[in-house]
């Protein structure tokens, strides 16, 4: 099983004729995602380089294609309106990849989305979401998959479905960092740990789905055996998630918090990664999560092995972890 998206999910791309939208639409198609069209105002009635139909509005696209998910590569000044247009058209999963959307625009979006409880926003400034498919041919970047759904910019070939013969357990992954998402996925894959669904929630201070909402979905998913949660300095999201985990989670959760060496008051990489007080530091979050029973990975290199230990999948797996990390 999975959360939010699966192999049958029909997906459109808003901004499909832009360079980023076109490139990543092709990548999603190559992975096996059911990309069914795109939206660029003024270009309705034409087709993109992949032969997908282009529509002027999301409402037209959903009516003609039956799409229930979208990925957004619209430039920052127009991205907020693109999110709300998708919600108004009944799109269930809205994946905003766009970086640099003004905070005031996102405040407006968050308020407006209350009127669309059937829509879930992922991002913005995120790598997207993927429910891995089963490998059918090829290796590395040339691999081809079936039965999965990749919406966004993540390298699909590093992900592994639990159904693959090499896996015994499956974990869900939630991350504020794109690159650390890939690192966690790769380590889990190399250890024979499949992934149910991986969600990059983005590093902006105002965003859509957060840790608690996704932890809730993974807790309910029968095929998710544990969860990796990757956070960073800034805000109280991780600490609040820890309290929720303590009270509600029955599955093991492994957390890594980035930014231990970040100086106070200086933004580090992401718009939301800035220490505003003592509770915002990496160490404060680590201490709070540990008190809530969360397994802490002390280094990015330890995420996979810590998850393997939490799942108690055996000494042979942990030995293999050490070999991979120190190779």
* 209: preceding bond cis by omega (within 30 degrees): no
φ, ψ of residue 299 in degrees (nearest 5): -140, 155
Active site residue: 24, 270, 295, 326, which one? 270
Give the whole-angstrom CA distance, residue 245 versus residue 238: 10
φ, ψ of residue 230 in degrees (nearest 5): -110, 115
The kind and range of the H/E element at 324 are: helix 315-325
> Which region, left, alpha or beta, applies to residue 102 given φ > 0 means left and ψ of -120 to 50 means alpha?
beta
The kind and range of the H/E element at 151 are: strand 149-152
Residue among 237, 239, 236, 171 at smallest CA distance from 199:
171
The kind and range of the H/E element at 304 are: helix 303-311
* Catalytic residue status for 159: no
Distances (CA, A) of 285 to 67, 156, 219, 237, 280: 39, 30, 22, 9, 7
Give the catalytic positions in this structure: 270
């Amino acid at each position: 099983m999975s959360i939010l998206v699966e192999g049958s999910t029909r997906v459109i791309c808003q901004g499909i004729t832009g360079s980023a939208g076109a490139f990543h639409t092709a990548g999603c198609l190559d992975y096996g995602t059911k990309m069914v069209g795109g939206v660029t105002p003024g270009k309705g009635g034409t087709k993109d380089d992949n032969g997908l139909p282009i529509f002027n509005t999301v409402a037209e696209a959903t009516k003609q294609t039956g799409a229930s998910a979208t990925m957004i590569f619209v430039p920052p000044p127009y991205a907020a309106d693109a999110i709300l247009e998708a919600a108004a058209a009944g799109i269930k999963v809205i994946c905003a990849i766009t970086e640099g959307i003004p905070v005031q625009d996102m405040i407006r979006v968050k308020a407006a989305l209350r009127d669309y409880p059937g829509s879930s926003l992922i991002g913005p400034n995120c790598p997207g979401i993927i429910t891995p498919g089963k490998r059918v041919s090829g290796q590395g970047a040339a691999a081809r998959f079936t039965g999965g759904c990749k919406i966004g910019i993540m390298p699909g070939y590093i992900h592994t479905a639990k159904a693959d013969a090499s896996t015994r357990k499956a974990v869900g992954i939630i991350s504020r960092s794109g690159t650390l998402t890939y690192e966690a996925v790769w380590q889990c894959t190399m250890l024979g740990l499949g992934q149910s669904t991986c969600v990059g929630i983005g590093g902006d201070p105002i965003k859509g789905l957060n840790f608690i909402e996704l932890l809730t979905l993974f807790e309910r998913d029968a095929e998710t055996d544990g969860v990796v949660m990757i956070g960073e300095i800034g805000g109280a999201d991780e600490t609040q998630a820890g309290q929720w985990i303590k009270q509600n989670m029955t599955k093991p959760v492994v957390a890594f918090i980035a930014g231990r060496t970040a100086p106070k008051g200086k933004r580090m990489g992401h718009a939301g990664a800035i220490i505003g007080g003592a509770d915002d530091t990496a160490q404060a979050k680590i201490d709070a999560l540990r008190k809530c029973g969360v397994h802490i990975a002390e280094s990015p290199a330890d995420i996979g092995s810590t998850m393997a230990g939490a799942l108690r999948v055996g000494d042979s797996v942990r030995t293999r972890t050490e070999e991979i990390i120190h190779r």
